[in-house]
Amino acid sequence: QMAEDLPQIVVPKTYSEYTSRKVLTTSWLEGEKLSQSTADDVGDLVNIGVICYLKQLLDTGFFHADPHPGNLIRTPDGRLAILDFGLMTQVSNDIKYGMIEAISHLIHRDYEAIVQDFVTLEFIPEGVDLSPILPVLAKVFDQALEGGGAKNINFQELAADLAQITFDY
């Protein structure tokens, strides 16, 4: 279904007969790291990647859990290739719905609700005093959202900042 909905995404073929629990064997795909590409369509491909990951996370609940820059390449024909499906995870419907609510709260910059979403999503345990988290979280999201759309968000830095918040609190 993903290939039909997002034809701009390409995934290498998996060779099951050469794959084990510790080794994932796939076809080779030509391309350049998306993060190093100077092509004019990189911003569009970043947006397609965001849509792809949101679809995986919020629609199927089964998604690629290792989206670092080395696993995202721009193919010569201008498509986004997602590599290395060795780290996959599945989320429950409760978590999917919690993510949808968190995205809605993020769009509306309702940071008080996002702090509560962190509890719902089990990033922060129940019973933790959330009041000191709010200003830190607001600062992180304000910096990430200050303009330019998804292509200007440093997702690696954002993820690191959010992980630090959940670790600290």
Please identify every residue annotated as catalytic.
Answer: 66
**Of 117, 66, 55, 118, which Cα lies nearest the Cα of 89?**
66
Q: How many Å apart are CA 107 and CA 157, to the nearest integer?
A: 19
**Of 140, 146, 143, 144, which Cα lies nearest the Cα of 164?**
140
CA atoms within 13 A on the CB side of 40: 0
